[in-house]
Amino acid sequence: MKKIQPKTLSGFMELLPHEQILFEKIKSTIQTNFEKFGFLPLDTPAVESSEVLLAKVGGETEKQVYHVANGAFDEGKKLCLRYDLTVPLAKYVALYGNQLTFPFRRYQIGKAYRGERPQKGRFREFYQCDIDVIGLNELSLYHDGELPSVIYNIFTQLNIGEFVINISNRKIMKGLFEHLGLQEKSADILRTIDKFEKIGKEKVELILKDDFLISQEQIQTIMQLATLKASNSQIIEHLKNMNIQNTTFTQGVDELEQVCAVMRAQGVPEKNFAINLTITRGLDYYTGTVYETFLTNHRSIGSICSGGRYDNLASCYSDQTMPGVGISIGLTRLFDQLLANQIVTAQKTALTQVLVVPMDQIEPCLGLASALRNQSINCEVYFENTKFKNKLSYANKQNIPFVVIVGQDELAGNYYTLKNMQTGEQTKASVQDIVDAVKNIN
């Protein structure tokens, strides 16, 4: 029989079991925190009609969409794979709005697809972990202050080092540009400022002057804000003292101040958030609060959790105004980067806690395994007929922390031999001793 070369598509993450265990653990931490803050689970289809999914898409993203050709009974229908979880959410609230309770808090952890140019750290199939709160007509600003608390809890529990939630409000720069008469050029200016870290202050100023014809005085005002290094409270104070007579600006500063206050009241430490007025992500999309999150010692990874406030989620599908605020963790890329930068390690992962090893008779092991499982212990019996050495080696390779040996001596003496695979220590044990030993190391 001619063999087909087994392979996995590039850009599609596929993990070995010990890595998958770690991935699932991180996913589960994220999910638990989403639920702790009262977000409801959703699981919309990965395939949608192209008309619905591509209602608003454009540019690079549209080119990257995967189109799905019909199954046997779908002739003529145009389908595609979702490229994020936000558009399906917009469809969902427009479609089921009258059966939902608002504010509608939902989380979704699922795969999305983009046919991006293959390169290291970029994935064509990737998990998004999203939370959004959607209001009907209006939505309290308190939600904007609560989301960073969710981020803070997740990244603290993941224990992946120091992180800072960067926060801003789009209205501040928008108001400033209105005030300076530069609103037409605002996107250009923000995108230029965004290069600050890469190309340095002088080049940024040169581009602003030569390419976008901004006056020296205006550049000074803008750059002063963009490069402001001060505590969160000092930045708010500074913004207030600028005395800029523009209602958008003033509103932005007020909102940012309130959001910071809510973050503090929720217990987010000052060192874990920083006002950063130059966040450019989602310029066409976010209208108020915006977030990005960086690992202090691995800034090159980029933002590991981003989001913000938007005015109207489902404007493509519904006449109802639905403002919202949300954040998203790109888990596949994050996980890849955490491993690549050795911030986490998948070497010693295991789900199974006990391997029961029969010396000869298997039957007496079955009841023991059931008894351990009934006490919520993940347990497996080694069934293959092979040398004792190979059975222990199986446990070792899988990082299973305990082996229980069941031989003639044990059966005659009415006990089990419990072997701690880390220390090598062997003890006579009852079922309860085994349970206690396993629970003690967790």
Site for its own copies in 348-377 (CB under 8 A): 351-352, 355, 362-363, 366-367, 369-370, 373, 376-377
Q: Is 140 in the site for its own copies (CB under 8 A)?
A: yes
Tokens describing residue 19? 């890595």
**Radius of gyration, CA atoms only, the chain:** 27
Footprint of its own copies on 67-86 (CB under 8 A): 67-74, 77, 79, 81
Q: Does 44 bind its own copies (CB under 8 A)?
A: yes
Distance, CA of 381 to CA of 397 (rounded, Å): 15
- 162 near its own copies, rule: CB under 8 A: no
d(CA 282, CA 299): 19
For residue 201, the minimal CB distance to its own copies (Å) is: 35
Q: How far is the CB of 208 from its own copies (least distance, A)?
A: 32
Measured from the CB atom, is 75 or 217 closer to its own copies?
A: 75
Under rule CB under 8 A, which residues in 22-41 are in contact with its own copies? 23-24, 35-38, 40-41
List, in sequence order, the alpha helices (H) in 295-441. 331-340, 363-374, 388-397, 408-413, 431-440
CA dihedral sign, ordered 384, 388, 393, 395: positive
Token representation of residue 43: 């699981």
Task: List binders of its own copies among 258-317 (CB under 8 A).
Answer: 261-262, 265-267, 314-317
Question: CA 418 to CA 435: how far, in whole Å?
Answer: 11
User: Pairing between strand 79-81 and 47-49?
Assistant: antiparallel
Q: Does 223 bind its own copies (CB under 8 A)?
A: no
Is residue 15 a contact residue for its own copies (CB under 8 A)?
yes
Element at 426 (helix H, strand E): strand 426-429
What does 82-94 look like in DSSP terms, one character per residue?
A: -S-SHHHHHHHHH
- Contact residue for its own copies among 82, 105, 185, 419 (CB under 8 A): 105
78 vs 281, beta carbon nearer its own copies: 78
Q: How far is the CB of 177 from its own copies (least distance, A)?
A: 25
Residue span 113-132 as binding mask against its own copies, x where in contact by CB under 8 A, dash where not: xxxxxx-----xx-------
Say if CB 132 and CB 324 are below 8 A apart.
yes
